[in-house]
A = this chain, B = another copy of it.
Amino acid sequence: MSNQVPLREAPVDQPVTLINAFTVPLHESDRFLGRWKDNARIMAGQPGFIRARMYKSLVEDAELRFINMAEWSSGEALAKARANPEFLTSVRRLMDDPELHVTPRPAIYQVAVEVHPGDML
């Protein structure tokens, strides 16, 4: 349910990255990913969506098995997309699925440090 908690402090007019780290039981991975794709398809059709990548841990007992990084053109665009009724229904379908036991940890991020080979920082 915390996927639907309002995400505060998103700057309205700057690019932001929504990062959502999910705890998912190993045997629910495929079902989770299928449901998540339903959400992602809706997000991919919203104004301001730039790109998302869902990362999967190669470690079987990882606490954070899936991590989604979704880039948006602005905090405002992300806020509007998250309020989309079709998206909310899709998120609810994932969170209410009795065969899934998922803990999401969504928050809004910006890049604090970018590092390239040989950087002296």
A33 in complex: contacting residue of B58, B70, B113, CB < 8 Å: B113
Q: Do B55 and A19 have beta carbons less than 8 Å apart?
A: yes
Q: Do B54 and A113 have beta carbons less than 8 Å apart?
A: yes
Cα-based distance from A49 to B115 in the complex (angstroms): 10
Contact bitstring A5-33, B, C-beta under 8 A = 1, else 0: 00111110000110101000000000001
Q: Do B64 and A21 have beta carbons less than 8 Å apart?
A: yes
Q: Do A58 and B11 have beta carbons less than 8 Å apart?
A: yes
Q: Do B58 and A121 have beta carbons less than 8 Å apart?
A: no
A residues apposed to B, CB below 8 Å: 7-11, 16-17, 19, 21, 33, 36-38, 40-41, 43-45, 49-60, 62-64, 66-67, 69-70, 105, 107-121
| Other contacts beyond A45-B117, A58-B107, A59-B108: 9, CB < 8 A | A9-B59, A11-B58, A33-B112, A36-B113, A38-B121, A51-B114, A54-B112, A66-B112, A70-B115
Task: Provide a sorted-by-A list of 10 A–B residue pairs whose CB atoms are within 8 angstroms.
Answer: A37-B121, A41-B120, A44-B116, A52-B114, A54-B114, A56-B111, A57-B107, A63-B107, A69-B69, A70-B115
